[in-house]
Amino acid sequence: MRFRTLAVLLAAGLAAGCVQTSVVGLPDYNALYSRDMVSYAGTSGEIAAVVMGNPFGPSVSDEQLVSSIPTPAWVSARRFTTNPGTQTPWSYRVVLLFNPARPGAGDDYTCANPAAEPTGAARGDGRARLVAVFCADSRWASQLEGSVPLDGGPGSPAFRTAMQTVMADLLPPINPKVDRGDNAIRVN
């Protein structure tokens, strides 16, 4: 009986791995990242976003792409936009680099010069490499790397689920390095 239960659990785990929609590496947080910063970024109901290397090509605008991305549940802003209104603080924004060509993308240079970030060709396997960065002016506050599925476009359940995971990790309600945990930075 134990063997059968173990075999069922193993098969379920393998099946779950086959339908995985995103591969997200460990996020990194700068000491300046905070919940208040993200809340301020979304005070107008939207968070500014920049897209470089749109993997869907000219048939999908950058605005269509970011409007399909869900915001984390705790964030008061209800949408991302590449065309923020005058009430949206542009200095706080999410930068999405698809298939970045520069090693180390996702740093202060990315925040200061997102349009200067070179992007490369798609992977050819129906996925795009992604570097996501939350910027505070020209400084990175949080960042992560991963890959997301492209099949079905930005409105597909797989892409939306992958980006929901990306945003939950990029914009958590606490800064794990400051607020708790091992290797926490102590701020007095």
For 138-187, write each residue's pLDDT tens digit: 999 999 999 999 999 999 999 999 999 999 999 999 998 887 655 444 44
User: For the residues 12-19, what does the mean pLDDT come to?
Assistant: 40
Q: Is residue 31 part of a domain?
A: yes
Q: What angle do CA 23, 109, 174 make, to 5 degrees?
A: 55
* Residue 188 pLDDT > 90: no
Q: What angle do CA 33, 39, 44 make, to 5 degrees?
A: 135
Q: Is residue 1 part of a domain?
A: no
Q: pLDDT tens for residues 71-116?
A: 999 998 889 999 999 999 989 999 999 999 988 889 999 999 998 9
Full residue range of the structural domain in which residue 44 is found: 20-179
What is the number of structural domains in the chain? 1
Q: Is residue 186 part of a domain?
A: no
Q: Is residue 93 part of a domain?
A: yes
**161, burial (CB in 10 Å: exposed 0-12, middle 13-18, buried 19+):** middle
Structure confidence at residue 26 (pLDDT): 83
Candidates 176, 91, 73; CA nearest to 137 is: 91
Q: pLDDT tens for residues 18-59?
A: 444 567 788 999 999 999 999 999 989 999 999 999 999 899
Structure confidence at residue 185 (pLDDT): 46
Query: Residue 5, Cα to own-chain centre: how many angstroms?
Result: 37
Write out the two tokens for 139.
Answer: 């400084």
Q: Is residue 129 part of a domain?
A: yes
Structure confidence at residue 18 (pLDDT): 43
* Residue 122 pLDDT > 80: no
Q: Is residue 125 part of a domain?
A: yes
- The CA distance from 161 to 96, in Å, is 16
Q: Is residue 52 part of a domain?
A: yes
Q: Is residue 12 part of a domain?
A: no
Q: pLDDT tens for residues 151-160?
A: 999 999 999 9
